[in-house]
Amino acid sequence: MRTFNATSMLAVVFACSLALSVSAFAEPHAWPQFRGENAAGIAADDAPLPVEFGAEKNCLWKTPLPAGHSSPCIWGDRIFLTGYDAAAGKLETLCLDRKTGKIVWRQRAPAEKIERSHELGNPAASTAAADAERVYVYFGSYGLLCYDHAGTELWKLPLPTPSTRFGTATSPVLMTDRLLLGIQGAYLLALDPKTGEQVWKNSKLPFAPDYSLPVVRVAGDVTEVIVQGMAGMGGGMSAVDIRDGSLRWQVSGFAMQPIPTPVLGEGMVFAISFHPIGRSEDRIQLNFNELLEKYDKNGDKKLGQDEVPEKLALVSRGDAGGTGDMTFKQMWGMLDTNKDKMIDAAEWTRVDLFTGMVNNALMAFRPGDDGKITSKGIAWKAEKGLPESPSPLYYKGRLYIVKNGGILSCFNAATGKQHFQKRLEADGSYYASPVAGDGKIYTCSINGIVAVIEAADELRVVARNDLGESLMGTPAIVDGKLYIRTAGHLYAFGK
């Protein structure tokens, strides 16, 4: 076992003759990271997938799990997940037998203090990555850990807990002989997966990594790592050379705090720029004078922290009872510029100022092999029906996005022509990203409804399956089987 200190690791000399392929780890019996190969969300084969399923139908097995929002990571006959036991304050990695669902081994992460997370979040939110020999897991409360498939620890890399408002949720990405990890608000890290030694570290990206994962694109003879991130009150996207982390290109004008991960298709990058406080249909329009009339108890023409209700929402995420809404108090630090714990009329104007700055859009752009992007590189964009959390899905020439409330949009990926934007009749917020295989699209609402949609130019919902539990993790697809994590279980569905 090897342990490395993040501040003392030395860079490993990089071989210039390294040849890389985006599909280097692809195999039919694997879903090697969040959303599978290169976070695309597409099954590696066209094996028939179940349409109707539940606890009593087409359920191969069902295994109780500790809490956690990480998605299944699969290699061969092993499934890897992370979990959190709040009562014991324990973070752990779990390995399950893919045929039976039996837990084969579990290893505790040596975290001394558990990071805080959003009320809907969980400190076990990061999805594992795996190859034929090892599995790699990340906890914001500790750092990186590497095990072999039998559960033996091979190396570990303690890292400082990122400074976040809602907890970490980024995941490691494995590409040939590079283990990539974007540390939220800080830097992009590339390690040797065999040893955990640092190959390079870029802490000067124009847009620091956030919740969005790195994806890899081959551009001529260069393999690029594309990272969507934020800088100040805005965001953007940049690409670096996987060999040494040097900057190749950048695009600005995005919203801050990106969650969805970009996807590739048609020679383009499809990315979502979205912040819920932007000028969207989700924002609750609050009038400051009306707020004063209702909550200004002492008549000083200001709103104090003790005067504003805890659940007063600026943005609704579509959950019953306001669960997950973005509240006034969550945005307090941004509004209270003089830090007197009061909001006056002048400070309230920052709400309108900020919303006017946010560029909410789905964008398709085409970087050149030379790493340059011109205004002509923006192929098309869309501004309605945008998701906050789910990543876009490129499948069979179409691009799909699903937003809170169960609204699915479908576009011609090459031209941007919208085929449809309709309700799935599966309400609630959407945190899981859509996945696809066998000509079908699978979407999951937080209420536990998994909709199965035919991949076509018209909306055809062929099934709505109610799992009866909260659902936030993105499914995995391997060998004609669908693996779905709910609040308390991991299910395997198939025939």
Q: Are residues 401 and 427 in the same domain?
A: yes
Domain final position from 308, 335, 357 = 357
Total of domains in the chain: 2
5 has pLDDT over 80: no
Distance, CA of 157 to CA of 110 (rounded, Å): 11
CATH number at residue 177: 2.130.10.10
| DSSP H helix total and E strand total for the chain | 3, 39
178 has pLDDT over 80: yes
In this prediction, residues 115-136 reach a mean pLDDT of: 92
Q: Are residues 178 and 320 in the same domain?
A: no
Domain contains 202: yes
The rounded radius of gyration (Å) of the Cα atoms in the chain is 22
List pLDDT tens digits, range 17-76.
Answer: 333 334 444 565 999 999 999 999 999 999 999 999 999 999 999 999 999 999 999 999
Q: Are residues 232 and 88 in the same domain?
A: yes
pLDDT band at 284 (very low <50, low <70, confident <90, very high): low
Tokens standing for residue 173: 């990405």
Q: Which residues of 459-476 are buried (b: 16+ CB within 10 A; e: fewer)?
A: bebeebbebeebbbbbbb
Domain final position from 338, 357, 376 = 357
Q: Are residues 371 and 317 in the same domain?
A: no
Q: Are residues 324 and 340 in the same domain?
A: yes
Q: Are residues 266 and 294 in the same domain?
A: no
pLDDT band at 85 (very low <50, low <70, confident <90, very high): very high
Q: Are residues 366 and 351 in the same domain?
A: no
Q: Are residues 124 and 57 in the same domain?
A: yes
Domain contains 426: yes
Q: In sequence order, which residues have a C-beta less than 8 Å from that of residue 283 and are 6 or more positions away?
A: 276, 277, 314, 315, 355
Q: Are residues 385 and 334 in the same domain?
A: no
The answer to whether the pTM exceeds 0.75 is yes
Q: Are residues 235 and 314 in the same domain?
A: no
Structural domain boundaries enclosing 342: 288-357
List pLDDT tens digits, range 361-418.
Answer: 999 998 876 666 665 678 999 999 999 999 999 999 999 999 999 999 999 999 999 9
Domain contains 270: yes
pLDDT of residue 348: 86
Domain contains 7: no
Residue 434 has φ and ψ, to the nearest 5°, of: -65, 150
Domain contains 17: no
Domain contains 188: yes
Q: Are residues 392 and 427 in the same domain?
A: yes
7 has pLDDT over 60: no
CB 81 within 8 A of CB 96: yes
List pLDDT tens digits, range 470-490.
Answer: 999 999 999 999 999 999 999
Q: Are residues 115 and 236 in the same domain?
A: yes
Domain final position from 313, 332, 357 = 357
Domain contains 2: no
List pLDDT tens digits, range 254-272.
Answer: 888 899 999 999 999 999 9
pLDDT of residue 282: 60
162 has pLDDT over 60: yes
Distance, CA of 305 to CA of 225 (rounded, Å): 43
- Listed range (260-264, 307-311, 318-322) with the worst mean pLDDT: 318-322
